[in-house]
């Protein structure tokens, strides 16, 4: 296993017995026929089940609708892409020339799909309990922060309500960069508090999605204290 893959596996928290599974999980369809789409299919199902199980356990009085909204918030594309960036997954992706030119390593959809594929690869490499442990470790901070009463609110709304409750001014969002072709752009947006030297960044396939990603990161900073 090369140095980059070893670093990724170490940060992920799983030592692969079958390196080929990890390589496949990190291979986009633009790179070749032996890509991560099948592992993504498996990882998506695994992730949905593990998150549903832990939510059922942690929120014994929540109804089906609330549980579904919480799960959707945790496993949506932007949330998975943010987790993938925490792992620096984009740096080890194998992409075709076209995707490399248009910034595919930073695209939410590609990052989210690859992370699901990685979870699927862990399952095939070491079984359900190990895969479950890896998923829960990755989602630990988000699971600790999720609130059943806020499950239907997007990150910008939750950040606004948090700041208003603390009698603090609303944040300022600024577009820092726009990359890619007109029909396939990646936005990078900052979220900065006006009364403190705190700033986060988020990326997404639209300005709105990038703002939501930056707001989510700001909420995490504020909740850590």
Annotated binding site: 40, 113, 116
| The 3-state secondary structure of the chain, one letter per residue | CCHHHHHHHHHHCCCCCCHHHHHHHCECCCCCCCCCHHHHHHHHHHHHHHHHHHHHHHCCCCCHHHHHHHHHHHHCHHHHHHHHHHCCHHHHCECCHHHHHCCHHHCHHHHHHHHHHHHHHHHHHHCHHHHHHHHHHHCHHHHHHCCHHHCCCCHHHHHHHHHHHCCCCCCEEEEEEEEEECCEEEEEEEEECCCCCCEEEEEECCHHHHHHHHHHHHHHHHHHC
Interatomic CA distance for residues 21 and 119, integer angstroms:
10
Query: Which listed residue (108, 116, 125, 211) is catalytic?
Result: 116
Distance of CA 96 to the CA centre of its chain: 22
- Binding-site members for Mg(2+) are 40, 113, 116
- How far apart (Å, rounded) are the C-alpha atoms in residues 24 and 114? 9
Our answer to whether residue 195 is catalytic in this structure is: no
Return the structure tokens found at 114: 């690859």
User: Which listed residue (44, 125, 211, 216) is catalytic?
Assistant: 44
Which residue bears the tokens 């595919």? Answer: 104
Q: Is 161 a catalytic residue?
A: no
Residues noted as catalytic:
44, 116
């Amino acid at each position: 296993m090369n140095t980059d893959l070893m670093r990724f596996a170490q940060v992920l928290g799983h030592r692969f017995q079958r390196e080929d599974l990890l390589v496949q999980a990190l291979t986009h369809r633009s790179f070749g026929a032996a890509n991560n789409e099948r592992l993504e299919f498996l990882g998506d199902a695994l992730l949905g089940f593990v998150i549903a199980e832990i939510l059922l356990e942690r929120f014994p009085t929540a109804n089906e609708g609330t549980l579904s909204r919480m799960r959707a918030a945790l496993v949506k594309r932007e949330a998975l892409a943010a987790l993938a960036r925490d792992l620096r997954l984009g740096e080890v992706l194998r992409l075709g020339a076209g995707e490399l030119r248009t910034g595919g390593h930073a695209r939410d959809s590609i990052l989210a799909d690859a992370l699901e594929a990685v979870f699927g690869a862990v399952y095939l490499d070491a079984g359900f309990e190990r895969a479950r442990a890896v998923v829960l470790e990755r989602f630990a901070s988000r699971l600790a922060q999720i609130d059943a009463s806020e499950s239907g609110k997007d990150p910008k709304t939750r950040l606004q309500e948090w700041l208003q409750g603390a009698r603090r001014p609303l944040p300022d969002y600024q577009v820092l960069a726009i990359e890619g072709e007109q029909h396939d752009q990646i936005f990078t947006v900052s979220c900065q508090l006006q009364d403190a030297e705190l700033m986060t960044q988020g990326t997404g396939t639209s300005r709105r999605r990038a703002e939501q990603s930056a707001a989510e990161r700001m909420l995490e900073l504020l909740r850590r204290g």
